[in-house]
A and B are shown apart, each in its own frame.
Chain A
Amino acid sequence: GQQLNQSPQSMFIQEGEDVSMNCTSSSIFNTWLWYKQDPGEGPVLLIALYKAGELTSNGRLTAQFGITRKDSFLNISASIPSDVGIYFCAGSSPGANSKLTFGKGITLSVRP
């Protein structure tokens, strides 16, 4: 089946730093989504991307739909302690029966 690769599994940064995460796929996707999960809660949608090359921002977050359609990037600028959590990429490929696939997630820790 389809797989999304996110690495590393964990990231540790200092408050105020920028951080970049990427997500790669073995197949072409036509939708890329980025979710954040806080401890004890369900994932919350951060950004949705629907077009190759698309660059979308949501506050301090910026995400891009890769030109190859096999990857996506999420950048967080000027990190703050509440950015702590697990960041998941998710995507779906073309096709009527395509389902959303989630990556394993990256756990972000922000040191004050």
Chain B
Amino acid sequence: DAGVIQSPRHEVTEMGQEVTLRCKPISGHNSLFWYRQTMMRGLELLIYFNNNVPIDDSGMPEDRFSAKMPNASFSTLKIQPSEPRDSAVYFCASSWGPFTGRGEKLFFGSGTQLSVL
């Protein structure tokens, strides 16, 4: 079975440009999570969806970040305009079962390495 698929694997862009990260969760999973990983802050939860509905976006750093989940098999995380401090690895993860928000058994994608110059 295919796991969580993220694209692109690497993204290099210039400050001010728009960046869109994409995620396809595991088929049948009903919760989707976006995380950001940096050396300084570790893994941070940005936002999560249940049944395509955003449940908690309190981790989104600022208005430059937005996420959508138009259907059960696709989600995007957009940064506009991007800044150098946004450079990080962005992970998408999905899970299934009764919704708790705790996302215990998360299945992670391979991540998108974002570099904003």
Contact = CB atoms under 8 A, between A and B. Distances in A.
Interface of A: 31, 33, 40-45, 48, 88, 92, 96-100, 102-105
A12 B45 CA distance: 29
Interface residues of B, number: 20
B97 interface: no
A100 B103 contact: yes
B104 to A, nearest CB: 6
Q: Is the interface of A mostly helix, strand, loop or mixed?
A: loop
Given A45-B106, A103-B42, A105-B42, A97 B93 contact: no
Contact of B110 (A41, A45, A96): A41
14 contacts: A31-B102, A31-B104, A33-B104, A40-B110, A42-B111, A43-B43, A43-B91, A45-B106, A92-B104, A99-B45, A99-B102, A100-B45, A100-B102, A100-B103
A40 B109 CA distance: 10
B4 interface: yes
Closest 9 CB pairs of A and B: A42-B108, A92-B102, A102-B43, A104-B42, A100-B103, A42-B91, A43-B108, A41-B110, A100-B102
B115 to A, nearest CB: 15
B28 interface: no
A42 B56 contact: no
